[in-house]
Amino acid sequence: MRLMMMHKNDPQTEAGLPPPKEIVERMGAFVGGYARSGQLLDGAGLRGSKTRVRLVFRGGKCTTKRGPYRGENELPAAMLLLKVRTFEEAIGWAERYGKILGDGELELGKITEPWDLGLMPPPENPPLQLLLIEKADAATEGGGRSPQQKAALARLRTEMTKAGVLLRTHQLGPSSHGKRLVFTNNALRVIDGPFVESKELLGGFVVLELSGIDEAIELAKPYAEILGGTLEVDIRPLAVEEDVAA
């Protein structure tokens, strides 16, 4: 079963500070074990909200808001990893994506690169990698997008892939199939979906091949401990291929 585990932003990341070296090393060792076993399929961290742009679509018009900002509707329905030359290029693709959806919200956030963590010197003129987050709404939480929207999005994703812009896409199942894990000093409280919304900004995610959500919950315990023991983690199944392609 393919699951996405998402941790929420923390004050240090939001302030633009790199994580302590000990956390980077411990998380690297932890995640590395799942990478070697083949269970880790993808993952990325996000910089603070000052590096992000929120796009709100209402009545055929798009309004952009640059960070920093607080969380509002932060429940994701899909994530697309983009590689572009400039933020403006990414906004152009996001506007096309959002116009297909109609009223809704998207967010573009900068991916945390190895040089952001002090693991290597920054290369000269590196490409800009951004995560395009499609926010959940009544359609994605219920019956899904219309066939016309799915077809139009599939055509746009194909165009983006051919242009070398779209690297990966992850479509999430509805939050009714998920769990929210609230850790307080490593004590865990589990909340069953569906979730009306999340006010916490996304801080990063991993995609894993696991036996089920129970295994993901057990995995999340050491994951949360490494990150300080007090944070919020959402676990959501990925949509099946038939749902994505329908």
Number of domains forming the structure of the chain = 1
Residue 133 has a pLDDT of 97
Q: Which residues pair with 130 in a beta bridge?
A: 82, 110
State the Cα–Cα distance between residues 137 and 197, nearest whole angstrom. 9
Domain assignment of residue 157, given as a range:
2-245
pLDDT of residue 241: 54
Model confidence, pTM:
0.93
Looking at the DSSP bridge assignments, the partners of residue 171 are: 78
Pairing of strands 76-84, 187-192: unpaired
Q: Is 69 exposed, middle or buried (0-12, 13-18, 19+ CB in 10 A)?
A: middle
Write down the pLDDT at residue 66. 95
Q: Could you tell me if 3 and 213 are in contact, meaning their C-beta atoms sit under 8 angstroms apart?
A: yes
Q: What share of the chain is helix, strand, coil (3-state, %, to 5)?
A: 35, 35, 30
- What lies within 8 Å, CB to CB, of 202 at 6+ separation is 6, 8, 9, 46, 74, 76, 109, 133
The per-residue pLDDT string of the chain (246 residues; one tens digit each, 9 = 90 and over) reads 999 999 999 888 898 888 888 988 999 899 899 999 999 999 999 999 999 999 999 999 999 999 999 988 899 999 999 999 999 999 999 999 999 999 999 999 999 999 888 888 889 989 999 999 999 999 999 988 999 999 999 999 999 999 999 999 999 999 999 999 999 999 999 999 998 767 889 999 999 999 999 999 999 999 999 989 999 999 999 997 544 443
Place of tokens 């932060």: 74
